Chain A
Amino acid sequence: MVIFGVENMQKKELIAIILVILSTVGTIAGIYGIENYRRHKFYTVELIARAPENGNWYPQQLKIPYGTKEIRILIRNIETVTHGFAIPDLGIAAGEIKAGEVKVVRFIPNKKGTFPFMCTVWCSTRHMQMRGELIVE
């Protein structure tokens, strides 16, 4: 059967191909697009928690602007052990961040300087080296 010059069989295949592309490439592109928008809109910076032997905090140095604007740090634990997060000089602590868990730390950086941040849960034999620094400038 021919509809609009296209055989029914071919039309069915064409629809199937479009659906496959939409459901695979479309889904992946959509998810990344939404996530990209969300990250830029809701979070100032993303921090990935990894034990030192697996790469340590990434990035290990965070730079944020001094001011009255609220800073939101998205902390993602991508490992299979529990980590923690704290910036003692600013009185900030996120508590335990379990494997695969995500936490958000919010604060207003009203002090200039360089402040160390660290993991607060014994996560590996090199736990004490799991440190980074936050620069408020």
Chain B
Amino acid sequence: MFVLVPGFSRSWCLMCPFPIFSDWFQRKRLVSVRQGKPEGLGLKWPKQLKNMWVMNIGFLVTTFFSGLFTVKPFATFVLLGGIILLAFLIGLIFEKRTFCLYVCPVSGFQGLYSQFATAEIRRKNPELCKNHKVKTCYVGNECGYGCPWMLTPFDFKKNTYCGMCLECFKTCPYDNMGFFLRPPGVDLLSDTPKEPRRLDEAWKAFIMLGIAAVFFLSMQGPWGVLKDMVRQATFKGWLIFITLHAFFCLVGIPGIFFIFAYLSKLFSGNREVSLRQVFINFAYTLVPLGLGVWIAFSVGIILPNGSYLVHVISDPFAWGWNLFGTAHFPWTPVFTGILGYIQGLVLVIFYLFATTFGFRLSKQTYPDLNQAKRGWIPILVFLTLVTILFLWLYLG
């Protein structure tokens, strides 16, 4: 996912099988298009929950059990089976892809980090959409379904909630939808009344940064005590772990960031912009930085353990098969001697992106250039400190 997201936005959601059973149920079709009212109750998701909070908490709670899900096949089965079942049940009760939009634990971070992606699905010609009175991309027609993600493909500006299902390509009679390449991070600077920057998305950025740090410490760090806590060697240890982990992600990081946001407002000398707005706007600097941290973390998993793939494709069930003659391929760590440097390099690159977008966000936050420059300093310090902390972790 951390290869797909920066390059191709939410293309994972395009191929994700989780909601397929609810799709089939609602449509009563597998491949063709059925017009009319979908099956199921088709209720609307509660307005108070139309945000990322359920996904934020859901993903965080999932990580409480990372010591099981990542090493025990049955636990992985329970997790994935549970998600598929939940997606189906929500599909019975609520409309369209409610599960993907508001519940799926994977969806939140995909959406947040896809704001940085170098690809997007957008309308080609705005004038065509403006003059097209029947918004078939939203309501559907005989060629396809109305946007399952309940977006308005004719005018949305951000990747965050576009699951790239391509239904709008089918329903547009003018072939006016396109898949475009773009510079990274364009969405970070977008803040419209229809798609504003939001507190729930900001918290998602904090949580993801916190989880990345905890994952690194527990999976790639040298601290056996922490590993024992995460893998539930004792119940008490695990309780301590989830308490600290939850506090760190939900309160610790946002709290520290709040201090720097307060300093930013103080340094800027601006009295009109609210502290809340400063806090939310600058939280989006953590999108590129968090993405870099996660890519570096993934590199730390792939390079030492990627050779298992060669073995696994020949014997996927560990039954003694040798489909492609590679079942006895030995575990071969790659470039682990320079792993820390590779991780460090990835992080520095994304730190540079974060600082670049950070200053632009500062200029959007404060109307005066001098205010923006002064207000940017504490946030730059925060980003630099976080980067140094992770560099210390990676390089030892």
Contacts and interface: CB of A to CB of B under 8 A. Distances in A.
Interface string A49-81: 000000000000000000000000010111010
B331 interface: yes
Q: Chain A contact residues: over half helix, strand or loop, or mixed?
A: mixed
Nearest to B308: A100
B31 A16 contact: yes
Interface residues of B, number: 16
Contacts of B315: 100, 102
A13 B32 contact: yes
Contacts of A13: 29-32
B320 A12 contact: no
A9 interface: yes
Given A80-B71, A98-B331, A17 B318 contact: no
Contact of B318 (A9, A20, A76): A76
Contacts of A100: 308, 311-312, 315, 318
A100 B330 CA distance: 12
Nearest to B312: A100
A106 B31 CA distance: 51
A98 B73 CA distance: 16
A127 to B, nearest CB: 16
A98 B312 CA distance: 13
A interface, size bucket: 10 to 19
Contacts of A74: 320
Interface string B162-178: 00000000000000000
Interface string A89-115: 000000000101110100000000000
B324 interface: no
B319 interface: yes
Contacts of B320: 74, 76, 102, 104
Interface in B313-367: 315, 317-320, 327, 331
A16 B315 CA distance: 30
A80 B30 CA distance: 39
B32 A9 contact: yes
Nearest to B320: A102
Given A80-B71, A102-B319, A102-B320, A16 B30 contact: yes
A78 B30 contact: no
15 contacts: A9-B32, A13-B29, A13-B30, A13-B31, A16-B30, A16-B31, A31-B317, A35-B317, A78-B73, A80-B71, A98-B331, A100-B308, A100-B312, A102-B318, A102-B327
Given A9-B32, A102-B315, 8 more contacts: A12-B32, A13-B30, A20-B30, A74-B320, A100-B315, A101-B311, A102-B319, A102-B320
Listed from nearest, the 4 A-B pairs whose CB atoms lie closest are: A102-B320, A16-B30, A16-B31, A100-B318
